[in-house]
Structure 1
């Protein structure tokens, strides 16, 4: 394996074991990059970007996933500054910077003048996890979705994304790509929903990524006319129960600090805060 004693370089398949050892220092917080590394083997053509590694005295001390999402791994503020200094030498593909608050805030403060005004910055997002059975009874009507559910699940996914991000995932001709992503999650068994008597989705959530250690949940959504009825709490309890049984032993997610109702629902289920994230949308 080629190494450099100091500085940043692009990692490749030969670095996979060393990279996974770095990720394993905090495998729940790092579940996204762990998933990406295991599924792509750090092959750039499958990553759709690059994985940067920071070396100190010949050892990998931090890393940075750089594709559509830029995600620091095991990075402190000095490491984040090193990645920011390296960034101008590479082709930029990033549309979102997300991860632990200190390295993301530091990286962004060092590239903001070059990268322009963001669409939105979300500071202090609680990163939550649960390692036990849920504290409340799971909703027995929440189940894994199947391919025949796609036409009901897809509009709910579009509604959630538009509400959360502020733009539709179908904007600019993105409908086919987004529908393919929803189809992929269903086919993996990573999509969960409750349907009402008409077949409409009234609660949903998905597993975004998973490793042998953890699964990260995304896209939690309740139909607007059914909010305040406890569907999110019981629904998430059902998701936690099924994901811990069938996917990974720890369930994690991160939530906007201002979303008091969601945070309260997750707390009732048994999630606890273990870190803070920042998300920069470009």
Structure 2
């Protein structure tokens, strides 16, 4: 596809090396887009959407993942305005807008009037990283989930999602799709949990990974076991396995108001490096 001097175009497989080089300038912050780009090789049929590139004087200077999640990366105000203008030309197809807060704010300033009011706005989400060993002893009972665990794991995943997002992932006929996602993470070796018989008392998943970093999501402690310190030890176990077998840096972002989770992550050794924001529809 011809290179543009200034503006936005849809990226394809031939652009992969240039896109990866751009994302690798900040590989932890950009891990989600990096993961999606590597996984799909920028093939639209695998993306379920598009990746847009912003060119400044003929050089790729920013990208935006435009699929179920609208996620800008390495983008300044001019690129964000261009991405927002492109997104506003069509009906909304993304269920979330997520990324570093300054980027989401600038994107939404232009895009908001076209897409309307989000169902939920989470502007203050500390982005945390851990590059070294965890600061507390890993919980030895936390392990990778296996196929035989899915019957016990799936209800915990539904409970976590419903508590975190505010709606059930099974709503509107979504049960099969969500169960397939849980199974996919288990089969990939990205699901970790502590099991008490047929009940999950702690769980977390790796949602995205690159050679440089992985991003954790879905952290959950059974309500009847909260306050026992399971999250800090559980996260330490996840970090230990993930850093050894998936990627050298573990990251996540957490709702700013979730004080117990933030304390647990701090105890495990995570430190804030930036702030993310998420808009949900």
**Both structures adopt the same fold (TM-score exceeding 0.5):** yes
> Is the 1:205–1:217 Cα contact (8 Å) retained in structure 2?
yes
Matches of 1:277 and 1:227 in 2, distance apart? 26
Matches of 2:91 and 2:40 in 1, distance apart? 20
Matches of 2:93 and 2:22 in 1, distance apart? 24
Residue pairs, 1:1-282, within 5 angstroms: 2-90=2-90, 92-196=92-196, 198-282=197-281
> Is the 2:202–2:220 Cα contact (8 Å) retained in structure 1?
yes
Aligned residues: 281
What TM-score comes out, normalization by structure 2 length? 0.98
Matches of 2:88 and 2:70 in 1, distance apart? 14
The secondary structure found in structure 1 opposite 2:51 is strand
Q: CA deviation at 1:65?
A: 0.2
Q: CA deviation at 1:37?
A: 0.5
Query: Cα deviations across residues 147-168 of structure 1 (Å, max 9, x unaligned)?
Result: 0000000000000000000000
Q: CA deviation at 1:275?
A: 1.1
What stretches of structure 2 of length at least 5 have no aligned partner? none
Matches of 1:111 and 1:57 in 2, distance apart? 25
C-alpha distance 91-59 of structure 1, shift in aligned 2 (>3 A)? farther
Q: CA deviation at 1:199?
A: 2.2
The secondary structure found in structure 2 opposite 1:233 is helix
The secondary structure found in structure 2 opposite 1:172 is helix
Q: CA deviation at 1:56?
A: 0.4
> Is the 1:122–1:280 Cα contact (8 Å) retained in structure 2?
yes
> Is the 2:88–2:115 Cα contact (8 Å) retained in structure 1?
no
> Is the 2:142–2:237 Cα contact (8 Å) retained in structure 1?
yes
Q: CA deviation at 1:88?
A: 3.2
> Is the 2:92–2:115 Cα contact (8 Å) retained in structure 1?
no
Moved over 3 A (4+): 88-92
The secondary structure found in structure 1 opposite 2:71 is strand
Matches of 1:127 and 1:219 in 2, distance apart? 15
> Is the 1:79–1:103 Cα contact (8 Å) retained in structure 2?
no
Q: CA deviation at 1:91?
A: 5.8
What TM-score comes out, normalization by structure 1 length? 0.98
Q: CA deviation at 1:231?
A: 0.3
Matches of 2:113 and 2:92 in 1, distance apart? 15
> Is the 1:76–1:102 Cα contact (8 Å) retained in structure 2?
no
